[in-house]
Every structure is written in structure tokens, then in C-alpha cells.
Amino acid sequence: HAADAHRTDLMTVTRYVLNEQSRHPEARGDFTILLSHIVLGCKFVCTAVNKAGLAKLIGLAGETNVQGEEQKKLDVLSNEVFVKALVSSGRTCILVSEEDEEATFVDPRLRGKYCVVFDPLDGSSNIDCGVSIGTIFGVYMVDKDLDKISLDDVLQPGKNMLAAGYCMYGSSCTLVISTGNGVNGFTLDPSLGEFILTHPDIKIPKKGKIYSVNEGNAKNWDGPTAKYVEKCKFPTDGSSPKSLRYIGSMVADVHRTLLYGGIFLYPADKKSPNGKLRVLYEVFPMSFLMEQAGGQAFTGKERALDLIPTKIHQRSPIFLGSYDEVEEIKALYAAEQ
């Protein structure tokens, strides 16, 4: 019966993407090849994260990243693995990584039509204590002569992304992706070394009972954020208060929000008027996934995927999650005007 079929008819992520491609008769398998290189990077990072304590990989590599933070060895390693895997796929032309100040323009001989924006290891403050961390990525496609590419090709609104996803290195290794036709989750079977479809067609609950925010910043929040969080704790409509969950790893906080419903907020505050999270490789991919799962993503001003970035490491406030929760936030911002 069904359970047996599930056990013997394994839907790997590669098989899934190949199936997806058959919907596009013009596709020549380039995206599948690109994805298999991203998946390789995720598997490597998963192994490295699992061995971190043992292999003494934890510790400072003596370098500082673009945002001036200390870079951990695992970040450096993960970044190198992803850059090399993506370049060697022969399917990429521009790479933007959180760890590299400048975008990488791939050697013309190895160029392909995809641009990949990624945060190879997000949630760095959680590395040393073994709490879930993750990789986030988004994919754009350029439709021009590959000798004529420029930074503008990655400074596109998130709605132009072709695909987005994340891999969470938690109690299991979970890859969640969308190629613009819903969201699917795959779990790494370590004995097979394959990601197997375990969460088909993920839909976020329309309403949620959980809010997720760093409340330590409350002192500096703007009016709508403060009002929303106050309502979560002291609802005035007779509903029960919401639960607070905050891991401090975007991938883990967003993953829970996607599966259980609720809202994840990284708002602006007086100290950081643009919030903390980066548009290209944090805000966009997660917003893309949320919309594909039936939720919403809002910056406090507009639909997150409509934002047109002007710098590769630009930041933006973000509110994403269940449809109804984001509607409430939007109403509070509209009332401010």
C-alpha cells in the first residue's frame, strides 16, 4: 500500500527537479545540473557542521567578513565549497555570497546563464553551541550575451527569482526549495547520501499561534512593530495570546514558521533603520518560499519581492509568515500613513 510505495519509490530532489523540468519543453537540464552542485555544497556543509566539535573546526579563522563580524572557520569553509561547486557547475555567471564583499564574476570559459545569491552558513552565533544553522540561496537567470553581464543582473527584484531555497542543518538535514511551482521539503538520508521528498507541497497555515522576533530590540522598535507584538501578548479580540519562539537562526525560525504557521519579524529599529537581514540572500529567498507556500512577506513598505535592490549587501526590514498575520502587520503600517 501507500506507505510501502513511499519506502520503495524514492523521490530524490534530483528526480523531482527533472520531473519539474519536463513541464518546460525548452529546458535542457541546466537547472538540474546547477541544483546538483548546490545540493553537493549542502551535503558537504551538513557533514562539516556535524563534525564541527570533533574536528575542531570551530574557532576563528582570523578573517573578518563584509559586515565586520568575526568569521568562523565553518563559514569560510562553507563559502569556499559553495563558490567552487557553483563555478565548476559551468552553469553560473555571477555569484553573490554573504561572505564576499564583491560579487564573483565567473571566468568566461566557465560561464552559464544562472546567477546565484547565497548565504553559505547563516546563524553564525549558533555554531559554537550546536543549535540549528543553515544555507540560504536564490537563483536568477540572465537572458543576454554572457560577455555583457553586470552587477545589475543580480540587482533585480525578488519576484524575478527562478528558484529559491534553504538547507537546515538541524536534528536532521532538511532542504526546502521552490522553483516557482509550490514548495517541497527533502530530508537527507545519510546512509544514501540523497535528499528524499518528505514534505511534499508545503502550505503555511493561514493563521498562526507563534510570533518570532528578537524582543531585546523592543526599546528601539517603530510604532507598528511595537503594536503588533503587544497584540500578540495581550490580544484585544478575545483570542489567546501567541507563543514566542526565537532561535536566532533565520533558517530555523523560518522553517518552523513555514510548517507551524505564525510570523517571523526582523523589523527596523532606531539603531538599524534597515533592519539586519540582507535583501538578496536572506529576505528574497525566504519571501519567495513564503509566497509559494501561500503566505506573505512584507518590508513595512511594500511586498518584499517587489523591492529593487541597489547594493548587493543591502538590508531590509522583513515580516513574513502566515497570510493573516502579515495582513495585520500591513494594516498597522497603513494606519501609520
Interface residue list for ligand AHM (CB under 6 A): 69, 122-125, 214, 248-250, 253, 266, 276
Q: Please tell me what DSSP assigns to residue 22.
A: T
In terms of CB distance, is 112 or 262 closer to ligand AHM?
262
Which residues, 6 or more positions from 194, have their beta carbon under 8 angstroms from its beta carbon?
A: 10, 12, 13, 188
Question: What is the distance of C-alpha 256 from the center of its chain?
Answer: 13
Tell whether residue 253 is a contact of Mg ion (CB under 5 A): no
Residue, CB closest to Mg ion: 122
In terms of CB distance, is 118 or 211 closer to Mg ion?
118
- In the numeric block, which cell numbers belong to residue 276? 539586519
Tell whether residue 122 is a contact of Mg ion (CB under 5 A): yes
Tell whether residue 99 is a contact of Mg ion (CB under 5 A): no
Contact stretch for Mg ion (CB under 5 A) within 19-27, 99-107, 117-125, 191-199: 117-125
In terms of CB distance, is 17 or 52 closer to ligand AHM?
52
* In the complex, minimum distance from the CB of residue 131 to ligand AHM, in angstroms, rounded to a whole number: 11
Which one of 99, 119, 194, 325 is in contact with Mg ion (CB under 5 A)? 119
Give backbone dihedrals phi and psi of 224, rounded to 5 degrees, phi first: -60, -40
The C-alpha atoms of residue 1 and residue 43 are separated, in whole angstroms, by 31
249 binds, among ligand AHM, Mg ion, none (CB under 5 to 8 A by kind): ligand AHM
* In the complex, minimum distance from the CB of residue 281 to Mg ion, in angstroms, rounded to a whole number: 8
Q: Look-up: residue for cell 505564525?
A: 262
Residue (of 97, 81, 135, 79) closest to 250 by Cα position = 135
Cα-Cα-Cα-Cα dihedral sign, residues 104, 142, 35, 317? positive
- In the numeric block, which cell numbers belong to residue 169? 542543518
214 binds, among Mg ion, ligand AHM, none (CB under 5 to 8 A by kind): ligand AHM
Number of residues that bind Mg ion (CB under 5 A): 2
Give the angle subtended at the CA of 52 by the CAs of 129 and 312, to the nearest 5°. Answer: 80
Residue (of 169, 179, 256, 269) closest to 211 by Cα position = 256
In terms of CB distance, is 41 or 208 closer to Mg ion?
41
82 binds, among Mg ion, ligand AHM, none (CB under 5 to 8 A by kind): none
What region does 59 belong to: left with phi over 0, alpha with psi -120 to 50, or beta?
A: left
In terms of CB distance, is 111 or 313 closer to ligand AHM?
313
The C-alpha atoms of residue 206 and residue 291 are separated, in whole angstroms, by 12
Burial of 15 (0-12, 13-18, 19+ CB in 10 A): middle
Residue (of 110, 77, 111, 78) closest to 281 by Cα position = 78
* In the complex, minimum distance from the CB of residue 275 to Mg ion, in angstroms, rounded to a whole number: 13
Contact stretch for Mg ion (CB under 5 A) within 60-68, 112-120, 144-152, 237-245: 112-120
Contact stretch for Mg ion (CB under 5 A) within 122-130, 220-228, 298-306, 316-324: 122-130
* In the complex, minimum distance from the CB of residue 78 to ligand AHM, in angstroms, rounded to a whole number: 12
In the complex, the residues that contact Mg ion under the rule CB under 5 A are 119, 122
